[in-house]
Structure 1
Amino acid sequence: MAILPDFIANKIAAGEVVQRPASVLKELVENSLDAGAKNIDVYIKSAGKNLIQVVDDGKGMSALDAIKCIQRHATSKIKTVEDLDKILTYGFRGEALSSIAAVSRIEIRTEKYNDELGTSIKFDDETGLVTEKGSFAKGTSVSVKNLFYNTPARRNFLKGNSTELKHLIETFKRNALSQSDVAFKFYNDDELVFDYPAANNRNRIEDVIAENIYDAVVEVHEITDLIEITGCVAKPAYLRRSKGEQYLFINNRYVSSRIVNHAVFTAYENILERGDYPFFVLYLKLDPTKIDINVHPSKLEVKFDDEKTIHSLVNAVVRKGLGKYDLVPSIDLNRTDRNSDRLSYSQHKFTEKNDFSDRPVNNENTFTQKGKGIFSEAEIDLLFNSLDSQISKTTDNTSNQGPLAQTSIEVAHTSSEQIDLTSDKLSGESSFIVLLHNKYILSQIKSGLMIIDQHVAHERILYEKAIKSFESDIPFSQQLLFSEKIQFDPADYELLKEIEDFILKLGFTIKFLGRRTIEIIGVPSDVNIGSESDTLIEILKEFRKNQIEKQLEVRDNLAKSFSCKTAIKAGDKLTEHEMRLLVDQLFATSMPYVCPHGRPIVIKIQLSEFDKRFGRT
C-alpha cells in the first residue's frame, strides 16, 4: 500500500468539485462575491472548454495569498473549527482553486486597492508555477483555459457546446439572483449576452426571468424571530412542467432543499398534478448556526436543525401569499389591428384574505341583514337536504330533473363578520346570472363580468367534498330502492377490492358476490339517479388512467376521478337557482379559482374593457 502523490490526489479531489465548466464558473463567481465585488464580468469561449474568465472589482489578493490560493485547503474564510458552525461566506473549504488548477491551465491577475503593483501567477502541469509583478486592474481576474486538457477521459465526457453553455448560463443566473446589489455581465465568444445592473431583488428577478414575471407570480414576505422569507411563487395558472425553475437561496446562497420544495408544493394543496412544478424564487435568511451547508463539496445541499419548523413556516407563508390575491384571471380585449382581437391576461388584483366580495351577488335573499348568517333559514334547510323539492318548483312538469338535484351544499366559509355584506351595500344592486350554451355561467360582479365553467366548478366542489369524506371517515350513502349488479373484468374487480375502503368512505355501499360481480346497494348523494352503475365504471376507468399516466396517490386519485365523472357536464342545463347555489358552493371551497386538474374555473372581464370596446373612454 502506498500514499498517493499530491498531484494524483489533487486530480481525484478535483472530480468532486469540478464536474463540468459550470462547476468552475460557480466557484469563481462565489470567490468574487466573497471578495466584496460590486461588478463581475464573465467571459466564456467554446462553452467553457477553452476559456472561463471571471473579472471582478473585489478587494484583491496580496502576492503571498495569490500563490497560496491554488494550494489545497488554503482559505481565508475560516480559521477555527467553531467557524464551521457559522459560515456566512460562499467558499470555506479551500478546495475550489486547487481542484481547478489540477485539471486546467489557470492564470490569476490580482491587485489590491492600496498597492501600486499587482501579482500574476500561471500554473499548469507542464511549466508549474510562474509568478510576475505588474500593474493590473484593481480586483482579481481568474482565467481557466483548456479545461480537462490533462484528463482526456473527463473532457470526452463533456456534452456538446449547447448543453454546456446552457448549464453555464443557468449557473450565472443563479449567482445573479443571489446578489441583486452586484452588477453582472456575461460574454459568450466576445458577445455580450446578459447585462444585469445592480438592483433590488424584484428588479433582478424581472431582469433574469422575464420583464412581466410579476404578472404571473404572487409576492411573499414574512419576518419571524427564526426566519425571514421573501420572494415570489407562481400563480396556479402558471404552473410549469420543468423542475429547473425553482430557485431557493438561503442566506443568499443558492441551494437545493427537499424540505423547502415539499413545503412549497404542498402549499398549492390539490392544484398540482404529477409533473407540474410551481415556479418560485425564495430568499430565506436565518441564523447560520441553525443550518449545515458542509454536506457536499459543491455546497448545494443544506440541512436544518429543525426541519419540521422550517417546513411549517415556509408552507404557511406561501399559503398566506396565495390566499391574499384574487387569483381569477382577468381578460383584456386588446385591439391589435382593425380586423383582429387578442386575448391576454392582465395583472391579478390584490385582495384581503377571505375577501370574496368581487363575485356574483345572490339576489334570492341569500344575504340578509348584518349580523345574520350568510344563508336564510329556508336556504340552510335547502343546503342540507335534497334539492328535489326546490327544483320541482322551478322547473315545469315536462323538464328533466336538474343535474344538481342530489347535491348537498356546503355553507359558505366566510362569516358576516369577515365579509361585511350588509343590506345597505347590496340594496339596489341587481346581479343577473345566465347560462351560456349550457356550459358557462355569466354573472355581474363589482368589477365587471365573471364567467364560470360549470363543469370544473362543480368538479372543485365535489373534489373537496370527497377529500373531507376521506378525512372524516363518516360516509353518507343514499340507499337504492333497487340494488344493481355489475360484472367487471378481472383487473377492474381486483382494483375495486384494493380501493374498497376509499370507495366506501365516498358513500358507495357495495357487496362482492364472487365471479367478478358486485352489488351496488347505496351511492353518494351526488350520483345522478339511474346512472349509478355507469358512474362507478367511469370512476374506475379514470382512476386507472390517472394511475398509469400521473401515478397519483390513491386518495387524491380517487377524489379526482370521482369529482370528474360525477360533476355536471357541459350541456347540462341549470336553473337560475341551481346556478346561484353552484356559485355559493364554489366560493365556499378553499381554492375556487382552479380545478383539481389545474384548469381555471373562473375568469373576469373588467367593466373598463367594455367601456373601451364601446368607445366610452
Structure 2
Amino acid sequence: MNNKIKILPENVANKIAAGEVVNRPESVVKELLENSIDAGANKIDVIIKNAGKSLIQVVDDGIGMSEEDAVLCVQRHATSKISTIEDLEAISTFGFRGEALASIAAVSQFELKTKREEDELGTIIKIEGDGNLLVEKGSFPRGTSVSVKNLFFNVPARRNFLKSNATELKHIIDAFKRSALSHPEISFKFYNEDDLIFDFPACSIHERMKAIFAENIIDALLEVKELTDYISLTGFVTKPAYLQKSKGEQYFFLNKRYVTNKIINHAVYSAYENILEKGDYPFFVLFMTIDPHKVDVNVHPSKLEVKFDDEREIYAFVHAVIKKTLGSYDLVPNVSLEGNTTDVTMKFQNFKSIEKEDFSDRPFSKQFESKRTPIFSEDDIERLFGNLNKDIKAAASPSEVPHPFESKQIEITHQFDGTTNSEADSPFIVMLHNKYILSQIKSGLMIIDAHVAHERILYEQALQSFDANIPFSQQLLFPQSIQLDPADYQLAKDLEPYLTNLGFVIKFKAKNVIDVIGIPSDIKAQHEIDILLDILHEFRKNQQEKRLDIKDNLAKSYSCKAAIKAGDKLNEREMRILVDKLFATSMPYVCPHGRPIIIKIPIEEFDKRFGRT
C-alpha cells in the first residue's frame, strides 16, 4: 500500500518558505539591509537593475563571515542571532529566524562573498536554481556582498505577479529609505542601473531627515523627545499646517526596526484629535526604545507587525507625549504678500523655525512667566462669554506642561487723576468687517478669525463639561416651547445627558414638543431655539459624513452653532477677552474642524510693500 503523505524535498520546501519571506524585490532588499546592519556595517551600498528583477546587490563593510559560517548561513533555520527559546523573548537583532538567505537562494541565482578582518582570503558561495552549492576562495575587502540575480526565475507564476518596474522600484526605494532613516550613523548609497541615485553620508538624524525628505523639512516639524527608564520616544511630528490626505507618510521604528502598528498610529492621531478632519493624517517619524522583553516581534515572517505586553500603557504614553509636544510650540503660520503692487497674492510661509516654549510673539504680552495672570478678571470673562464653574475647572484634566501663554499685565497710573488702566499700554486691536481681529505683535501683525477662535474656546469648554458631568446653565425667564419633527425629538432625547452637561435644561412633552427651560451661558437668550435646532442638524450631518464619537460630534456641533457669527460686532474689551481665552486653550492655532484661526504677517512684508527695504 502506497503512502500518500511524503516529506517534501529540501529545494521544494525552501521555495514554499520563500513565499512567506520573499514576495517581491523589496523583501529581498529589506532582509539584506537588515543583515548588513546586524553585521555592524558603517557603509552599505545597494545596487539595483531592472527594478530588482535582474539584480539586487547589497555590499557592506561589516564583520564578515568565516567559510564555515558562510556555508551554514544559506541553510534553513541557520542563524547567529539566537540559540535558545529564551532568546526569542528578547530579540535585539533585525534577523533571527534564519530563513531569509535560504528563501532568497531558493528563488534566484545567488552569490555571496564574505571576508573577515583576520582572514587572508574571503569565501564565495554560489547557489544555482537546482540547489547545488559551490564554494570558492577569493581576495576582496572585509565585509559581505550578496548578489541576487534573476529573482523568481524558477517560479514564473510569482514573477508574473510582480508589478511594473516603476512600482517595484518605488517599493525598493521605500525600504532603502526606511533603513537609512533609522540608522543615520551608517553611510548608505543606492545605485539604479549604474546611476548613483541616493548618497547619504553618516550624519545626525536631523541631517538624514533633510536628505531623505526635503532641505526645509525640519521647519515643518516639531521635535519629540521624552526619555524615561522604561520607555523612550523621540522623533518628529508635523505642525498642524501640514496635515495631509495620505496615510503613506507615517514612520514608526521600534528599537530601530520599522514596524506598522495601529495602536501607535491611533495614539498619534488622537493627540491631534481636535485638529484632524476625517481623511487628514499627520506626517510623523517616531523612534521608540523599550526593553525587548516587553515586546514580541516574532508575529509574522515579514517582522512588520509587533505586539506589546501592555498595549494600553504604550498607547497612553505615546498620546501624552505627542499632545505635550503639540502644546509646546507656537504654531501660527506666517503669511507673505507676493506679486506686484496691482496683483497681490498671499502665500503661507510655514517653513518658519520656532523654539520650544517660545510664545513671546503674542498680542498683549510684555513677558511670560510661570504663573498665569489673565488680562481680565474672571468676572469680566464670565459676564461676556460665560465660564464654567469652579467644580468643572477642578474636574478638567490638568495640563502636563506649564501653560505657554502666560502674561503679566503692566498697570499704568495716570499722572492726572491717579487711576490705573491695565489696558493703556496694550497694543492696538481692531475688528475688520466684523469678522477678523487685527492686533499688533512683536513680529508684525496678527490676524484672528473671531468666529473660529470662539469655536475653539467653546469646543474645549464643551469637552470639559462632558468630563466633569456637572451641569451649569442660565435659567430662562420664560421657557420656550417648540414642536420638533419626530427624528429631531428622538435625537434630542438620545442626546439629553450631553445637552444637559452643556447647559441646556429641556423638558420632553407629548406630541414631539419640548420646553427649553435653561441654556448654556454662552448663548444669547433670543436665539436659543434656533441654536438648539442647528446643533441637532449639525450633529446629524457629522454623524452621517464623519462618524465622530458622540462627545466629539456634539462638542463640534455646539461650538460651530453657538459661536459668534461673521458680522457680530465686538467692542475692544470683548475682543481682548476673546483673544485671551483663545490663548488659554490647548490648541489655539486651528478650529475643531481643522481650519486655521490665526495667521501672522511679518513687519518685513509691510516694509517691502512700502519700499522700506
* TM-score, normalised via structure 2 length: 0.87
Which residue matches 1:483?
Answer: 480
User: In 1, are the aligned partners of 2:509 and 2:515 still within 8 Å (CA)?
Assistant: yes
Relative to structure 1, is the Cα distance of residues 57 and 340 closer, same or farther in structure 2, using a 3 angstrom cutoff?
Answer: farther
User: 2:326, 2:221 → 1: CA distance?
Assistant: 9
Letter in 2 for 1:175: S
Please state if 1:160 is matched with 2:164.
yes
For 2:341 and 2:216, the matched residues in 1 are separated by 23
Structure 2 residue aligned with 1:104: 108
The verdict on how the C-alpha distance between 1:600 and 1:109 changes in structure 2, with shifts beyond 3 A counting, is: same
Query: Is the alpha carbon distance of 1:424 and 1:49 closer, same or farther for their aligned partners in structure 2, counting shifts above 3 Å?
Result: farther
Deviation at 1:384, TM superposition (A): 2.3
Q: 1:310 aligns with which of 309, 314, 318?
A: 314
Name the CA distance, whole Å, in 2 between partners of 1:534 and 1:459. Answer: 17
Q: Secondary structure at the match of 1:531?
A: helix
- In the other structure, the counterpart of 1:210 is 214
- 1:573 equivalent to 2:569? Answer yes
Please report how far the alpha carbon of residue 65 of structure 1 lies from its aligned counterpart in structure 2 after TM superposition: 2.0
Q: Is the 8 A contact 1:110 1:138 kept in 2?
A: yes
Q: Distance in 1 between matches of 2:340 and 2:108?
A: 54
Q: Do 1:107 and 1:122's aligned partners in 2 also have CA atoms closer than 8 Å? A: yes
> Do the aligned residues in 1 keep the contact of 2:410 with 2:425 (CA within 8 Å)?
no
Per-residue CA deviations over 1:100-159 (Å, capped at 9, x if unaligned) read: 122222222223334343222222333622333333344222122232233333233333
Would the aligned equivalents of 1:325 and 1:348 in 2 still touch at CA under 8 Å? no
Tell me: CA distance 1:594–1:269, structure 2 relative to 1, closer, same or farther (3 Å). same
Corresponding residue to 1:435 among 423, 431, 436: 431
Match for residue 503 of structure 2? 507
How many corresponding residue pairs?
Answer: 590
Residue 312 of structure 1: how far off its partner (Å): 3.5
Question: 2:381 — aligned with what?
Answer: 383
The CA deviation at 1:17 is: 1.2
How far, CA to CA, are the matches of 1:80 and 1:33 in structure 2? 22
Q: 1: distance between equivalents of 2:445 and 2:405?
A: 26
2:418 aligned residue: none
Output the CA distance in 1 between the equivalents of 2:424 and 2:515.
Answer: 54
Could you tell me which amino acid in structure 2 is paired with residue 244 of structure 1?
A: G
The one of 541, 546, 549 equivalent to 1:545 is: 541
Aligned partner (choices 54, 60, 70) of residue 64 of structure 2: 60
Which secondary structure does the structure 2 equivalent of 1:530 belong to?
A: helix
**Residues in 2 aligned to 1:362 and 1:137: alpha-carbon distance in whole angstroms:** 64
- Provide the rounded CA distance (Å) in 1 between the counterparts of 2:472 and 2:455: 19
What does residue 374 of structure 2 align with?
374
Deviation at 1:345, TM superposition (A): 1.5
**Residues 37-56 of structure 1 aligned to structure 2 (within 5 Å):** 37-56=41-60
Pair 215,350 (structure 1): closer, same or farther in 2 beyond 3 Å:
closer
Is the 1:176–1:184 Cα contact (8 Å) retained in structure 2?
Answer: yes
1:236-272 alpha-carbon deviations (Å, 9 max, x no partner): 2211222221111222211223333333233324222
Query: Following TM superposition, by how much is the alpha carbon of 1:184 offset from its aligned partner in structure 2, in angstroms?
Result: 1.4
TM-score by length of 1: 0.87
Cα gap change, 1:104 to 1:517, in 2 (>3 Å): farther
Report the 3-state secondary structure (helix = DSSP H, G, I; strand = E; otherwise coil) of the residue aligned with 2:574: helix
SS at match of 1:277: coil
Aligned partners of 2:126 and 2:504: how far apart in 1?
Answer: 77
Asked if 2 retains the 8 angstrom alpha-carbon contact of 1:410 and 1:588, the reply is no
Q: How does 1:72-83 map to 2 (within 5 A)?
A: 72-83=76-87
Q: Alpha-carbon deviations, 1:76-103, whole Å to 9, x = none?
A: 2223333333332211110111111222
- Say if 1:428 and 1:347 are closer, same or farther in 2 by CA, change over 3 A: farther
Aligned to 2:396: none
When residues 348 and 312 of structure 1 are mapped into structure 2, their CA distance, relative to the original with a 3 A threshold, is farther
Aligned-pair identity in percent equals 60
Q: 1:174 to 1:516 in 2, by over 3 A?
A: same
CA distance 1:190–1:492, shift in 2 (3 Å): farther
Which residue in the other structure is 1:532 paired with?
528
The change in CA–CA distance for 1:410 and 1:186 in structure 2 (over 3 A counts) is farther
Q: Which runs of 5+ in 1 are unaligned?
A: 388-405
Q: Post-superposition shift, 1:13? A: 1.9
**CA separation in 2, counterparts of 1:447 and 1:557?**
37
CA distance in structure 1 between the aligned counterparts of 2:183 and 2:608, rounded to whole angstroms: 43
Q: Which of 430, 439, 460 is residue 464 of structure 1 equivalent to? A: 460
Task: Return closer, same or farther for 1:611/1:375 CA change in 2, 3 Å cut-off.
Answer: closer
The residue number in structure 2 matching 1:92 is 96
After superposition, give the CA deviation of every residue in 1:361-401 in whole Å (9 maximum; x if it has no partner): 299xxx9x99995356xx4333223x4xxxxxxxxxxxxxx
Q: 2:258 aligns with which of 249, 254, 257?
A: 254
Q: Is the 2:219–2:353 contact (alpha carbons within 8 Å) kept by the matching residues of 1?
A: no
User: C-alpha distance in 1, partners of 2:345/2:389?
Assistant: 40
Q: Distance in 1 between matches of 2:223 and 2:559?
A: 31
Amino acid at match of 1:524: P
Counterpart residue type for residue 445 of structure 1? I
Distance change (3 Å), C-alpha of 1:500 and 1:340:
closer
